[in-house]
Amino acid sequence: MFVCLALSIAGKANFSDIAKLYDPNANAEADIKAAIIKANKTGKHVLIQAGGNWCSWCLRFNKFTTEDKQMDSVIQTNFIVYHLNYSQENKNKAIFEKYGFPQRFGFPVFIILDKNGYRIHTQNSSYLEEGKGYSKTKVLEFFKDWSPASLNPIYYKNY
């Protein structure tokens, strides 16, 4: 059911940095509320990347998007990012239930909230993969399709 390989990216990231990506002790509800407030003030959406420090594909996605300057710029321009933990220590059951059980797609899974906190999309990450990594074209298209600008009604008045 959960499609994610065990942590096996030795040599590609510092383990102390990896361990900080997802916090099993975080108050996800409070953190997401804070992200929504920030998104509302900045006109951005909230990008929730759900997964865990145990998930090599989760860590790979984070590395992929933060080390590529174009990718990082698109994210910083359009989204407030939150890493929602799912692990043996804390499965955040209430949060996953609130967002329609996105864990059914495996990890990572992406949940997009608008600036008011309404879930507007859930993305199965396998559609963004290419080989043993992620497709830059597919990921950029995903971010573009769910950016605040793409959902601005002004662009659709003539349709």
Q: Domain with 73 in it: what CATH number?
A: 3.40.30.10
Average pLDDT over residues 2-24: 53
Residue 49 counted as domain residue: yes
Residue 39 counted as domain residue: yes
The bridge status of strand 79-85 relative to strand 45-51 is: parallel
* pTM (2 d.p.): 0.87
Residue 146 CA to residue 152 CA, distance in Å, equals 10
- Tell me the pLDDT band of 71, cut-offs 50, 70 and 90: very high
Residue 38 belongs to domain spanning: 15-149
pLDDT for 154 equals: 83
Neighbours of 54 (CB within 10 A): 17
Average pLDDT over residues 72-80: 97
Peptide bond into 108 cis (omega under 30): yes
Looking at the 3D structure of the chain, how many domains does it have?
1
Residue 159 counted as domain residue: no
Average pLDDT over residues 39-46: 98
